[in-house]
């Protein structure tokens, strides 16, 4: 298994002047597709998942299967990353299960789904950083809140990151990477019109990058939501509304996250194949 930490992957990306895609997966078919594409293009990759996102009853079972799949791609430098860990306990479970990187998302109160205080966010993040760094695992934190929904349930409001707080947060926690809210949004339905400077605040990420030069910045909610995928899906029975993604934002971070775009690609393939596949599949 060629597992590397997020810190190492992003350090090398900065030196080489490139970005690394982070792809959310919920099953082994998606995982295989991501790793095969990385192998064919000679690219490092971040394979990430959210606790409870798979169809398996046990996170640990699915996580073990992810690692066994990565074993089959020894030529691909791979970060196995827990996305949006909701609390320190979940992050510790992922670290103990063999993840090379975890995200602790202390920006939201998990009970009220309201923005957490800065102090509570720092406390949760420090707890994870101490546990992770002692075991050679990277940590990503989050400041401000990304809009939309990570898992299709509660929808968070957008609270923009403050550059001065970002500098303080990094100094207090020692995170390897920081996800900052600049107006992007999670999920498959982001913006009702192409986002411009009144929606995506590029000035924030420029100022934050200046203040924390040794910490890598991460862009969540950065899927581009290609219109051609929506067109094909809707032509085969889908009802996806028109929506615009955040393609422009990807130029400003080393690690853009992708989930809705790759999921739409998977949906397009199944919707176009099922009507003409073997008879046994037409009743699924």
The C-alpha atoms of residue 266 and residue 142 are separated, in whole angstroms, by 29
More confident residue, 191 or 201: 201
Residue-level pLDDT at 189: 46
Helix (H) or strand (E) holding 24: strand 22-24
Identify the burial level of 102 via C-beta atoms within 10 angstroms of its C-beta, where 0-12 means exposed, 13-18 middle and 19 or more buried. Answer: buried
pLDDT tens digit sequence for 194-231: 555 555 667 888 899 999 999 999 887 655 556 677 67
CATH superfamily of 6-281: Aldolase class I (3.20.20.70)
Could you identify the residue written with the tokens 């909701």? Answer: 86
- Closest to 6 measured CA to CA, from 176, 124, 173, 214: 176
Give the pair of three-digit tokens for residue 103.
């995200």
Q: Mean per-residue pLDDT for 34-49?
A: 96
Q: Which residues contact 65 (CB under 8 A, 6 or more apart)?
A: 28, 56
Residue-level pLDDT at 252: 45
Residue-level pLDDT at 27: 93
Q: Which residues contact 232 (CB under 8 A, 6 or more apart)?
A: 268, 271, 272
Question: What residue spans define the domains of the chain?
Answer: 6-281
Q: The whole model's pTM is what?
A: 0.79
pLDDT tens digit sequence for 222-274: 555 566 776 777 777 776 666 555 554 444 455 555 555 566 565 666 677 66
Single out the catalytic residue among 83, 105, 162, 176. Answer: 83
Residue-level pLDDT at 184: 58
Report the chain's mean pLDDT, rounded to a whole number.
Answer: 81
Residue-level pLDDT at 225: 57
Active site residue 59: no
């Amino acid at each position: 298994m060629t597992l590397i930490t997020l810190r190492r992957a992003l350090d090398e990306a900065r030196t080489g002047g490139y970005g690394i895609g982070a792809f959310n997966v919920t099953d082994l078919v998606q995982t295989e597709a991501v790793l095969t594409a990385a192998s064919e293009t000679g690219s490092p990759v971040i394979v990430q998942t959210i606790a409870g996102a798979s169809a398996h009853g046990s996170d640990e079972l699915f996580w073990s299967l992810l690692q066994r799949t990565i074993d089959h791609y020894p030529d691909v430098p791979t970060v196995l990353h827990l996305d949006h860990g909701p609390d320190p306990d979940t992050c510790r479970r992922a670290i103990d299960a063999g993840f090379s990187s975890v995200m602790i998302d202390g920006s939201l109160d998990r009970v009220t789904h309201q923005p957490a205080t800065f102090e509570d966010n720092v406390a949760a993040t420090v707890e994870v950083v101490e546990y992770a760094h002692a075991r050679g695992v990277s940590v990503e934190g989050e400041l401000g809140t990304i809009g939309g929904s990570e898992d299709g349930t509660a929808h968070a409001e957008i609270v923009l990151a403050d550059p001065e707080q970002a500098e303080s947060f990094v100094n207090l926690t020692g995170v390897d990477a920081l996800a900052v809210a600049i107006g992007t949004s999670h999920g498959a339905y982001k913006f009702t019109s192409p986002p411009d400077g009144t929606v995506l605040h590029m000035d924030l990420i420029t100022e934050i990058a200046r203040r924390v030069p040794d910490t890598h910045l991460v862009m969540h909610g950065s899927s581009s939501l290609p219109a051609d995928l929506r067109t094909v899906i809707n032509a085969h029975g889908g009802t996806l509304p028109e929506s615009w993604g955040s393609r422009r934002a990807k130029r400003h971070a080393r690690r853009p996250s992708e989930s809705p775009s790759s999921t739409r690609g998977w949906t397009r393939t199944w919707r176009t194949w099922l009507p003409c596949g073997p008879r046994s599949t037409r009743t699924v």
